Amino acid sequence: MDEKEALKELSKRIDEVSGNNDIPRMSNKDMIIAAVFAAVCLAGVILGGIFL
Amino acid sequence: MSKVRNTEEQVQQEVLFGTWPVLKKERKYGFIDALLVLSGYCIATWSYTQGSYLATLVGFKQLLIGAFLAALFMLLVYQLPVILSVRYGIDIWIWLRSVFGPKGVNILTIAIIVVNFPWYAVCCELFAGSMENLLGIFGITPFPGLHLILSLSCVILGTLIAYRGISSITWTTRILVPLLLLVGVVVVIVGFTSVPMDVIWNYTPELTEGTSRSFNYILSIEANFAFVITLVGGMAEVPRLCKSERSGYYAGVFGQGIAGSFFVVVGAVMAIAMQHVTGTMSDDPTLMMATLAVPALGLCSLLLVAFANIGTQAVGSYIYGVMLKSTFPKTSYRILILVLGAYVSILCVWGKIIEYFGSFLTIGALVYAPLAALLFVDFFMVRKQKIDLKSAFGLEGHDNYQYTKGFNIVGAVCFVLGFAFSLLIYDPIKSVVHVKWLFVLTPTGASFLFTALLYLGLSRIPYIRRYIRRDCSVVPDTRPFDRYKVPPKQNLFLTPLIWLVCKIIVAPYKLKIEKHNMKGVKPPFLVLGTHQSFYDFYVSPLCLIPFRANYISELEGFEAYGEWIYRQVGCLGTRKFINDRALLINIKKVIDRGGIMVIYPEARYANVGTQSELQMSVAKLAKHLNVPVVTLNMKGNYLLSPIWNLKLRKSVRLHADVDLALTAEQTQEMSLQQIHDILYDKLSYNEYEYQKKAGIKIDDSFRAEGLHKALYRCIWCGTDFSTVTDGSRIRCKKCGAEFELSPDGDLIRKDREGKITIPEWYDSIREDVDKEVDEGRYSLDIKVKVVALPNSVNFIDCGEGRLKHGSDGFDLTFNDYRQKKEITLHFAPKSTISVHTEYNYRDKFGECITLSTLDDTYFLYPLEEGFSATKIQFAAEHLAKINN
């Protein structure tokens, strides 16, 4: 693949992934679960420091 | 020779294609696949070193909490941006080009390698230790220098494998991961069976001098943060191969947070068991197995660990060699591999990497913490999960991320300050805490928070936002401005500062304020001011001291200076020449709460220092509000900085008349016409008459430059767009008529007798345009560049459009970014009582007019000859007059 073809292919790929590429996204619910999970871990770290 | 070329080509392909966006159909990994790959990456022999290091700091229970919960917490936060890798199929280094610029990322790559590569020196040290143990089993006593020879041989063997290229690495990886898993299993079995469980469970280390339990606990949490955060560089390429964002994200979190941490805990168990049995703590799994297990098992394990260390060294050299190759594309891959090998060799010769394990871990984290913070804030808060990929890949014509010669200064400054901030808290070399209360957050955590807040704060400053969000035309914020948001009172604490700043700015021009009939006038009241230049906003607050006020401002001011500061100053945002009901509601709210509402009813700076029409709606507003009306007639502001050339004329003196034009009672008793006439009279001005009366001499050499934008038609031959200016002169390109702008403000004919004032010339052009319109000769049909301003955040480039103007009003055809299709907006003549004009917008974008809807202001820049903002304004005003 020469440089011109490579750039064309790259540009094509960029257009494809920039549009709606149907990759299942993290929903708001997923984000909230991650945030709660992180909060629980942080609480565990703090409590571990205080009580152990 | 061909083999060398083959390896170079393969690596070149890896560099080139390895960074390209991975398409959906090419994605290989579900959650389990990604979890296994990432787990494999995390479980190198250095996990044991980390485990034994933690065991020197805290007891087993706290160690468990740190290894799992602290690691998971950090991973849950800093792994979030990997969803961008999944979404776009790119690794984070591509995204980081938007944060640091392409050259900035190159430097960062080197920094990352410098701080990450000591991991591989740890592997070599472990290899040397294993080999010495092996010799010990055979009864051979190591001679001095053997350890160094063995560790260097690990470097050489690992480098040789990497040197051979991708096929050797593929085979090495296939062997390496099962080997490491096997070693792990053996260590777990031996560790947990060789000493009683309660020995491990109740283990607590002895405190060394100058430490405390809380200090050690924080240091252990720091080590866990650092351990997971420093692996991000090597793991950056996996999530882009995942099929869903959730799988990519949780694979990273659990790969490191569960699998990686498990092996850290195994290392700790081994170290504790060794201490229990031999009285000495060790991070060497081979030594433990040789000591705690049967010799045959120890021998096998020794070989496994030895090969695992060489394999890890080889894979690391390859990964970072490819990274370096993308930074230095002209340098041979093999040379780069040798350089990396030399770097690890130097660390091995130094021989203290294990001793300074905690220090190097923290230093690594100090680099990664600001990096992770910048990525997090940039992804979620600055770029809001969108990136201009074409600029990120540096495609021709897409240079949004080039910033300053390839470096994003803002990202670099935040990174350096974030790094320095953590050093202010803790010295990782000498293990000295400088700021105890911040040390509680851990150096990594504090640096992460500081960098995140710094970058977020800087990104809210409009000038900086425009610098770092050059891609906003590609991924813009399209939310319309909230017109109904209740305007806050001018910030009480900011008000004295506003007065001080205004006073300083106008000081050179000796502003004189005269107040008429203002005794006893207290808020609420309405202020109507003349509008000549930006200096109106400096003079107005000084005229209203000791009161604070609210001001109406065009949205572009919000975009230029930032919505927060504009609201604190007391501004109400709107668009020009539209019927904005929300604005009326907010004006009423300001008055009802006892405030002062300042309005500049002309809505546009005076083109040539003379008054514009005053709409009857202003009189209606005065009557509706039923409060005193104060006029603010400012003089000299136009002369100081005329719209057609904003350079300051230093000899100008400013004057302002503040006058109670109407009492509340008068607004109710008088007719609308009477109110209108009084206000019109109080707000009338002619800057050139003021200049003569005040004896102001403007002799700046540039004093006429730009004047042709307002006086676009030759007064002598009547040709449109034929005038040009230079220095103090304006002349016609067609007939040669030439005028000198005298220091008194008159235009003196150079090639013959005669003089004219600028307003006279301007009015004569207006009369000509009115005549053109009346006779049906006026029309405009021109290609324009359309740039929309929907909010206080960004402009949106809508590309080329077509603007038509005639007796039916304006028709603007363009690609609407909201509907994503071509539309035509019609503006009827009677609704466009005027248009906003700019002669050189923001001193760089050139001449334009704006047309507004409730949710967008469209800046229209000509792409063809025959465009005059002044002429369009004249025609629109006349068409509005004859249609109303």
Three-state DSSP state, B554: strand
Task: For residue B154, give both structure tokens.
Answer: 């690990």
What residue in B sits closest to A21 (Cα-Cα)?
A: B24
> Looking at beta carbons, which residues of chain B come within 8 Å of A19?
none
The answer to whether B16 contacts chain A (CB < 8 Å) is: yes
Q: Is the pLDDT of residue A42 over 80?
A: yes
Which among B59, B65, B389 is the nearest to A18, CB-wise? B389
User: B418-425 long-range contacts, Cβ below 8 Å, gap at least 24?
Assistant: B418/B369, B418/B370, B418/B373, B418/B374, B418/B447, B418/B448, B418/B450, B418/B451, B418/B454, B419/B366, B419/B367, B419/B370, B419/B447, B421/B446, B421/B447, B421/B450, B421/B451, B422/B366, B422/B369, B422/B446, B422/B447, B422/B450, B423/B366
Q: Is the pLDDT of residue B839 over 80?
A: yes
> Looking at beta carbons, which residues of chain A come within 8 Å of B88?
17-18
Contacts of B308 (CB under 8 A, 6+ apart): B44, B45, B176, B179, B180, B183
The answer to whether B845 contacts chain A (CB < 8 Å) is: no
Beta bridge partners of B782: B803
Q: Are strands B629-635 and B525-529 parallel, antiparallel or unpaired?
A: parallel
Which among A6, A25, A41 is the nearest to B72, CB-wise? A41
> Looking at beta carbons, which residues of chain B come within 8 Å of A45?
65-66, 69-70, 73, 221
Under the banding of pLDDT at 50, 70 and 90, the label for residue B655 is very high
Contact call for B73 and A42, based on CB within 8 A: yes
Contact call for B59 and A52, based on CB within 8 A: yes
Contact call for A18 and B70, based on CB within 8 A: no
CB contacts < 8 A, A to B, total 95
Q: What average pLDDT does range B794-806 have in this prediction? A: 93
Task: For residue B96, give both structure tokens.
Answer: 């980081």
Per the document, the length of chain A is: 52
Under the banding of pLDDT at 50, 70 and 90, the label for residue B595 is very high
What pLDDT was estimated at residue B826? 96
Mean pLDDT of the residues in chain B: 88
> Looking at beta carbons, which residues of chain A come within 8 Å of B65?
44-45, 48, 52
Neighbours of B540 (CB within 10 A): 20
Contact call for B246 and A26, based on CB within 8 A: yes
- Residue B684 in contact with residue B606, Cβ under 8 Å? no
pTM score: 0.74
Task: For residue A43, give both structure tokens.
Answer: 């609480």
User: How many angstroms separate the CA of residue A45 from the nearest CA in chain B?
Assistant: 6
Greater model confidence, B32 or B606: B606
Share of chain B above pLDDT 70, in %: 95
Q: Is the pLDDT of residue B618 over 90?
A: yes
What residue in B sits closest to A34 (Cα-Cα)?
A: B76
Q: Is the pLDDT of residue B753 over 90?
A: no
Contact call for A44 and B69, based on CB within 8 A: yes
pLDDT digits (tens, 9 = 90+) for B851-870: 999 999 999 999 998 899 99
> Looking at beta carbons, which residues of chain B come within 8 Å of A21?
23-24, 87, 89
Contact call for A21 and B24, based on CB within 8 A: yes
> Looking at beta carbons, which residues of chain B come within 8 Å of A52?
59, 61-62, 65
Under the banding of pLDDT at 50, 70 and 90, the label for residue B545 is very high
Distance CA B191, CA B283 (A): 12
Contact call for B69 and A17, based on CB within 8 A: no
Neighbours of A25 (CB within 10 A): 14
User: How many angstroms separate the CA of residue A34 from the nearest CA in chain B?
Assistant: 7
> Looking at beta carbons, which residues of chain A come within 8 Å of B76?
34, 37-38, 41
Chain B interface test: which of A11, A12, A13 (most B C-beta within 10 Å): A13
> Looking at beta carbons, which residues of chain B come within 8 Å of A26?
83, 245-246, 249
Q: Which of B75, B41, B47 is nearest to B268 (CA)?
A: B47
Q: Which of B543, B677, B686, B683 is nearest to B601 (CA)?
A: B683
Distance CA A22, CA B146 (A): 57
User: How many angstroms separate the CA of residue A42 from the nearest CA in chain B?
Assistant: 6
What residue in B sits closest to A39 (Cα-Cα)?
A: B73
ipTM beyond cut 0.85: yes
pLDDT digits (tens, 9 = 90+) for B344-364: 999 999 888 878 877 777 788
Q: Assign residue B351 a region: left if phi > 0, alpha if psi is -120 to 50, beta otherwise?
A: left
Q: Look up residue B404 and give its DSSP letter.
A: B
Q: Assign residue B800 a region: left if phi > 0, alpha if psi is -120 to 50, beta otherwise?
A: beta
According to the per-residue pLDDT averaged within each range, which of B168-177, B432-441, B744-753, B764-773 is highest? Answer: B764-773
